[in-house]
Each structure stands twice: as structure tokens, then as C-alpha cells.
Amino acid sequence: MAHVTQNKINIPMLDIKAQHEPIKEEIKQALKDILDSGQFILGPNVRSLEQEVAAYHHASYAAGLASGTDALYLCLKALDIKQGDEVITTPFTFIATAEAITYVGAKPVFVDIDNSTLNINASKIEEKITPRTRAIIVVHIFGQPADMDEIMSLARKYDLRVLEDCAQAFGARYKDQMVGSIGDAGCFSFYPSKNLGAYGDGGMMITNNAEVNEKVRLLRNHGTVAPYRHSFIGYNSRLDEIQAAVLRIKLRYIDEYNRKRSEIARIYTSALHPAVQCPAELPDRTHVYHQYTLRSPLRDKISSVLKDNNVSSVVYYPVPLHLQEAFEDLGYKKGDLPESEAAAETVLSLPVYPELSPEKAEFIADTALKALKT
Ligand SMILES: *Cc1c(COP(=O)(O)O)cnc(C)c1O
């Protein structure tokens, strides 16, 4: 009979419908107001969301954009990163981080990661700095803040710009600062599966630099300075009112969402440590667990036993960027960035979302442990 009960369990990586359920009336009302207003692009909801996100981060400015990828791209443009420049970043991230670098004609330079945080290894950055290096894109991967003090001090020493890719880290803190507010600009994605997710594509950049803010706002809207007056060639990268309204509602719950994610993480870590390598919990920063990513040489076995029990798990990321076919031209080969390559072979992300019950998290942890024992 236990077998029959188990078969009913079906645990996805995330459950967007479950997140919608308790806020659906608020969302319906907000959508109705927008439909009645007839204003769909860059309206009052976008303006209010920008103010609220800037205030949440204690940052001076925020600009709503079409996606996280665009946020990175437009910020690089606003910082005047261009052809001939080099931009240092991590190979252990979603491809968009490095794509944005190539969009402006610059060259991504990959620096290996730290084995315990999976973030860029700050102590390996300096050896990759050349006279062409102009910027560093730091990624707070899976919601774990990177070593910002070390990175900012290198940036000051070599006069480099710093972009924070916060696509997976909305609400994470580094010491007494919010991630995204530490470098020259912070870039966010509101893709539905992110820890702050819209009901479609969306993105945002935050900054304390008035010039960057001004430039990004013009870039997102065809360089329009006054109606049908364009001071330079821009893009169409605007956030729409429906996404902004959804995000304004979810923003009120983001700290609760993140807290629930870290409760799930605590359940996993207390059950799984030291049988697998659990995510590092560092005293000076808050991980928001966009993903709960363990490491084990037996991760394929864990994944298949979870699957047998109808529990999802995913390998983020199976191939580091320096070994992707898309970046073949950069000339990297296997063995160049061994920590990233080792991570790609041992990581496994378990389901983590605010609506996942502690009982289910315990079941997942127990199932993973059983996989290691058989
Ligand atoms: C999702 C993601 C992006 C891209 O965001 P989009 O909104 O999908 O364009 C960039 N960087 C990282 C680390 C991401 O996870």
C-alpha cells in the first residue's frame, strides 16, 4: 500500500500555479484595471515598480526592461563596453551572461569558479586582467552572493566596471547591501521561473549612477528624447504594464518566498550533509536558493532514483560556457577551467519553491539518501 501512496507524489522543479493561487484575486483586479486603462507599455505600473524595486535595494534608480538578457546588454552599452574590450565573467552560468558581452562586440574572458560557492573565484581574476579588460560581470549563481568585496577592490585597482547578474538572486544580501546595488549596475530577470517571476518575459536594471540610468532608459526606447526625436540608435526593450502589475504584487511577498526557499534548503542540508556536498552557507551573506544545488559523484544515480519516485531534478549546468559550441571561437579546451568542468559533472539541483511542503522536502531528501545507499 505504501507503494500506491508514493505513486501519487509528483514533485516538479517549481510550481508556478501554486504560487498564483493565493494571489489570484489581487492579480485579477490589477489586470482588470490595466485592461480598463488601455495603457499597456511603460505606464504607471512600470514607474511604480521601478520606484519600489529601487527602494527595496536602497538604489537610486531602476529601469524596467524586456528581459534579463537585455538588462545585461543595455547596461554594457551604457557603460560604453565595445568591440576590442574584454569582459571577465564566470563560465558556470546561463549563456545569457556571456551572450550579452558578445552582443556589444566585446570578448568574454572566463575565470574559473570557487568549488564551494560555484561563483567566480575572485582570487583568480587578477591573472586574467589585461590592458583590454574593461569590466567584470559577476553572477550570483543560484542565489548565492559572490565575493563582492574582493571583486570591487580589484575593480577600483584596475578601473573596471562591475555588472552584477542578479537574474537568480533577487533579495539576496551581501554583508549590509542588497546584491545588485554594489557594482555599477545590477541586472534582474523576471522570467517566470526566476525567484521573482512575472507572467511572461521581463527584466530590470538598478544603479546609483545617474548617467547609466539615463542611457539605459533611452536605449530601451529607440533613443527617444522627445516624441519622434532620437538622439542615437536604441532598441525596443520595454517592460509592459501587465508584467509590472504582477511583479508589484509578488514583490510584496518576495522576502517570504525567499525565506520559505531557505527553509526547504535547511531541510535538505540537515538531511544530506555530509553524504553529498551541500550549498555553502556563509556568515556574511544570504543565499536565496533560486536553486538548491548539491554536488555528488553519484548525482546521476540520485537523479534516476528521484525520477523513479516522481521527483524532478535538473543538472544546471551540464556544459560550462567555455566548452559550449557557441563559444568555440574563443579557443578554450577541456581542462582549461577544471573547477567549472568538475562542477558540471557533479551538480544536481533539487526542487525548491516556496510552496513545496516541508514533508515533501523531507521525502525528497530521504529518497536522495536512499539512492546513495543502494
Ligand atoms: C535567466 C538568466 C538570464 C537571462 O534572463 P532572461 O530574462 O531570460 O533574458 C541571465 N543570467 C542568468 C544567470 C540567468 O539565470
Residue listed under C-alpha cell 517571476 = 197
CB of 98 closer than 6 angstroms to any ligand 1 atom:
no
Are 230 and 336 in the same domain? no
> Rounded CA gap, 52 and 67, in Å?
18
CA of 167 to the centre of ligand 1 (A): 5
Atom of ligand 1 nearest to the CA of 71: 9
CA of 96 to the centre of ligand 1 (A): 6
Is residue 7 domain-resident? no
Task: Select from 97, 113, 316 the residue to mutate for testing ligand 1; criterion: most ligand atoms less than 8 Å from CB.
Answer: 97
Q: In order along the chain (374 residues), what is the average pLDDT of each group of 10 residues?
A: 58 94 97 97 97 98 98 98 98 98 98 98 98 98 98 98 98 98 98 97 98 98 96 97 98 98 98 98 97 98 98 98 98 98 98 97 98 91
Are 202 and 89 in the same domain? yes
> Rounded CA gap, 181 and 206, in Å?
7
Residue 328 maps to which CATH number? 3.90.1150.10
| Domain end residue (candidates: 251, 268, 285) | 251
Which of these, 55, 40, 63, lies nearest to 243 by C-alpha position? 40
Under 8 Å between Cβ of 298 and 346:
no
Are 227 and 270 in the same domain? no
What's the pLDDT at 125? 98
Are 204 and 103 in the same domain? yes
CB of 93 closer than 6 angstroms to any ligand 1 atom:
yes
Are 143 and 74 in the same domain? yes
CA of 290 to the centre of ligand 1 (A): 12
pTM, entire model: 0.97
Is residue 81 domain-resident? yes
Strands 133-139, 86-89: pairing is parallel
What's the pLDDT at 2? 47
Task: Select from 72, 119, 165 the residue to mutate for testing ligand 1; criterion: most ligand atoms less than 8 Å from CB.
Answer: 165
Residue 282: give the domain boundaries: 254-373
Are 29 and 151 in the same domain? yes
Nearest CA to ligand 1 atom 2: 167
Nearest CA to ligand 1 atom 14: 167
Half-sphere exposure of 15 (CA within 13 A, CB side): 18
Are 205 and 75 in the same domain? yes
Is residue 47 domain-resident? yes
What's the pLDDT at 374? 81
Are 165 and 263 in the same domain? no
* CB crowding 212-228: b at 16 or more within 10 Å, else e: bbebbbbbbbbeeeeee
Are 168 and 227 in the same domain? yes
Is residue 27 domain-resident? yes
Is residue 2 domain-resident? no
Number of domains in the chain: 2
CA of 36 to the centre of ligand 1 (A): 32
Atom of ligand 1 nearest to the CA of 202: 7
Are 161 and 306 in the same domain? no
| Domain end residue (candidates: 251, 276, 298) | 251
Atom of ligand 1 nearest to the CA of 93: 13
> Rounded CA gap, 201 and 240, in Å?
9
Residue listed under C-alpha cell 536602497 = 58
Tell me the longest C-alpha to C-alpha distance in the chain. 72
| Domain end residue (candidates: 232, 251, 270) | 251
CB of 293 closer than 6 angstroms to any ligand 1 atom:
no
Is residue 6 domain-resident? no
Atom of ligand 1 nearest to the CA of 190: 7
Half-sphere exposure of 56 (CA within 13 A, CB side): 23
What's the pLDDT at 115? 97
> Rounded CA gap, 162 and 141, in Å?
16
Q: How is 80-135 classified by DSSP, letter by letter?
A: T--TT-EEEE-SSS-THHHHHHHHTT-EEEE-PBPTTT-SB-GGGTGGG--TTEEE
Are 41 and 186 in the same domain? yes
CB of 73 closer than 6 angstroms to any ligand 1 atom:
no
Atom of ligand 1 nearest to the CA of 67: 7
Is residue 12 domain-resident? no
SS3 content of the chain, % helix, strand, coil (to 5): 45, 15, 40
CA of 265 to the centre of ligand 1 (A): 22
CA of 204 to the centre of ligand 1 (A): 11
Under 8 Å between Cβ of 120 and 89:
yes
Task: Select from 14, 103, 168, 199 the residue to mutate for testing ligand 1; criterion: most ligand atoms less than 8 Å from CB.
Answer: 168
The DSSP symbol for 280 reads: P
